[in-house]
Structure 1
Amino acid sequence: MSRLAQLTLTTFLTAGIATVGLAQETHPETGEALAADQTFTYRILDEFSSLDPQVVEDVTGSEVARDLFEGLMNQDENGELVPGVATGYEASEDKTTYTFTLRDDAKWSNGDPVTAQDFVFAWRRAVSPELASPYQWYMSLMSIENADAIIAGEMAPEELGVTAVDDRTLEVKLSQPLSYFPQMVTHATTFPAPQKVVEEFGADWTKTENIVSNGAYVLTEHIPNERSTRERNEMYWDNENTIIDKTVALVINDENVALTRFLAGELDRTEIPAGQFPRLSKEHPDEAISFPRLCNYYYTFNLSDSGPEAFKDVNVRKALALAIDRDIITKNVLAGGEVAAYSFTPAAVANFEPPVSEMQEMTQAERDAKAKELLAEAGYGPDNPLKFGMMYNTSDNHQKIAVVMSQMWKQKLGVEVELSNMEWKVFLEVRGNQDFELARGAWCGDYNEASTFLDLLTTPSGYNDGKYSNADYDALIQEAKSADDSAPLYTEAEQIFAQDMPVIPVYHAAGVYMMDSDVGNWPVNNVEQNWYSKDLYKVAE
Structure 2
Amino acid sequence: MDIKNLDSSDADDQCPLRAIHAVIDGLMKTDKKGNITYGIAKSEEVSEDGLVHTYKLRKDVRWDNGDLVTAHDFVYAWQRIFKKKGSYYYMFADGIASIQGAQELSDKIDAGEELTDDDLNSMGVKALDGYTLEVKTTVRVSFLDELLAFPPFYPINEKFAEKQGSKYGKSAKTILGNGAFKMINLEPGSVAEFKKNENYYDQKHVKLQRLVMKLVQEPKVAAQAFEAGETDYAPINSDLVDKYKEYDSFKQVYDGFLFYISINFKNEDLANLNVRKAISYAINRKYLCENVLKDGSQVVKGFIPSGLATSPCGVDFRKDSGDFTFYDKAQAQDLLNEGLKELGKSEITLRITYGTDKSPMDVFATYLQNALSKLDGIKVEMVATTKQDRIYNKQKNGDFDLAVTRWGPDYGDPTTYLTIALSTNSNNYGKWANSEYDQLVNQVGVESDVEKRWQEMKNAEKILLDDYACIPVFEKGAATLQNMKVKNLVIKPCRIISFEYVEKTE
1:102, CA displacement in angstroms? 0.6
Return the alpha-carbon distance in structure 2 between the equivalents of residues 449 and 77 of structure 1. 22
* 1:136 maps onto 2:89 in alignment: yes
Alpha carbons 2:273, 2:339 under 8 Å: kept: no
Alpha carbons 2:300, 2:325 under 8 Å: kept: no
The match for 1:505 among 472, 494, 497 is 472
1:182 alignment counterpart: 145
1:181-203 C-alpha deviation (Å, 9 max, x unpaired): 12111111011001001111102
Return the alpha-carbon distance in structure 2 between the equivalents of residues 115 and 125 of structure 1. 16
Q: Which runs of structure 2 are paired with 1:478-489 in the superposition (5 Å)?
A: 478-481=442-445, 482=447, 483-485=449-451, 486-489=453-456
Report the aligned-residue RMSD.
Answer: 1.9
The match for 1:83 among 38, 42, 45 is 38
Greater Cα offset, 110-119 or 313-322: 313-322
Structure 1 residues 188 and 447, CA gap change in structure 2 (3 angstroms): same
1:531 alignment counterpart: 497
Greater Cα offset, 478-487 or 467-476: 478-487
Structure 1 residues 325 and 68, CA gap change in structure 2 (3 angstroms): same
Q: Secondary structure at the match of 2:269?
A: helix
Q: Secondary structure at the match of 1:533?
A: coil
Q: Which runs of 5+ in 2 are unaligned?
A: 311-315
Structure 1 residues 177 and 528, CA gap change in structure 2 (3 angstroms): closer
Amino acid at match of 2:503: Y
Return the alpha-carbon distance in structure 2 between the equivalents of residues 48 and 417 of structure 1. 33
The match for 1:114 among 69, 75, 79 is 69
1:480-527 C-alpha deviation (Å, 9 max, x unpaired): 232312322222122112211111111011232111111101235x22
Q: Which runs of structure 2 are paired with 1:12-411 in the superposition (5 Å)?
A: 45=1, 47-128=2-83, 131-140=84-93, 141-151=96-106, 152=108, 153=113, 156-206=119-169, 207-282=171-246, 284=247, 286-303=248-265, 307-351=266-310, 352-354=316-318, 355-357=321-323, 359-360=325-326, 364-365=328-329, 367-379=331-343, 384-395=346-357, 397-411=360-374
Alpha carbons 1:290, 1:512 under 8 Å: kept: yes
2:417 alignment counterpart: 453
Return the alpha-carbon distance in structure 2 between the equivalents of residues 462 and 235 of structure 1. 39
Q: Secondary structure at the match of 2:45?
A: strand
The match for 1:470 among 428, 434, 438 is 434
1:373, CA displacement in angstroms? 4.2
Return the alpha-carbon distance in structure 2 between the equivalents of residues 377 and 265 of structure 1. 59
1:165-187 C-alpha deviation (Å, 9 max, x unpaired): 01111001112332221211111
Q: Secondary structure at the match of 2:121?
A: helix
Q: If the length of structure 1 is used for normalisation, what is the TM-score?
A: 0.85
1:313, CA displacement in angstroms? 1.4
1:61, CA displacement in angstroms? 0.8
1:530, CA displacement in angstroms? 2.1
Alpha carbons 1:359, 1:367 under 8 Å: kept: no
Alpha carbons 2:490, 2:498 under 8 Å: kept: no
Return the alpha-carbon distance in structure 1 between the equivalents of residues 92 and 295 of structure 2. 34
1:26 alignment counterpart: none
Structure 1 residues 314 and 77, CA gap change in structure 2 (3 angstroms): farther
Alpha carbons 2:283, 2:368 under 8 Å: kept: yes
Alpha carbons 1:96, 1:173 under 8 Å: kept: yes
State the aligned residue count: 483
Return the alpha-carbon distance in structure 2 between the equivalents of residues 125 and 301 of structure 1. 32
Return the alpha-carbon distance in structure 1 between the equivalents of residues 325 and 200 of structure 2. 51
Return the alpha-carbon distance in structure 1 between the equivalents of residues 174 and 222 of structure 2. 31
Alpha carbons 1:79, 1:528 under 8 Å: kept: no
Return the alpha-carbon distance in structure 2 between the equivalents of residues 370 and 262 of structure 1. 49
Alpha carbons 2:25, 2:39 under 8 Å: kept: yes
2:313 alignment counterpart: none
Amino acid at match of 1:534: E
1:17-63 C-alpha deviation (Å, 9 max, x unpaired): xxxxxxxxxxxxxxxxxxxxxxxxxxxx3x22410112110011110
1:111, CA displacement in angstroms? 1.0
1:411-435 C-alpha deviation (Å, 9 max, x unpaired): 1234112112222322331222323
Greater Cα offset, 206-215 or 91-100: 206-215
Alpha carbons 1:48, 1:61 under 8 Å: kept: yes
Structure 1 residues 217 and 359, CA gap change in structure 2 (3 angstroms): closer
Alpha carbons 1:292, 1:527 under 8 Å: kept: yes
**Structure 1: 4+ residue segments shifted above 4 A:** none
Amino acid at match of 1:348: G
1:455, CA displacement in angstroms? 1.4
The match for 1:421 among 384, 387, 392 is 384
Alpha carbons 1:292, 1:348 under 8 Å: kept: no
1:440 alignment counterpart: 404
Return the alpha-carbon distance in structure 1 between the equivalents of residues 459 and 242 of structure 2. 38
Q: Secondary structure at the match of 1:328?
A: helix
Amino acid at match of 1:459: S
Alpha carbons 1:49, 1:58 under 8 Å: kept: no
Q: If the length of structure 2 is used for normalisation, what is the TM-score?
A: 0.91
1:267-289 C-alpha deviation (Å, 9 max, x unpaired): 1111121243344221x1x2111
Structure 1 residues 210 and 311, CA gap change in structure 2 (3 angstroms): same
1:75-131 C-alpha deviation (Å, 9 max, x unpaired): 224432111111121211222111111111111011110000000000000112xx1
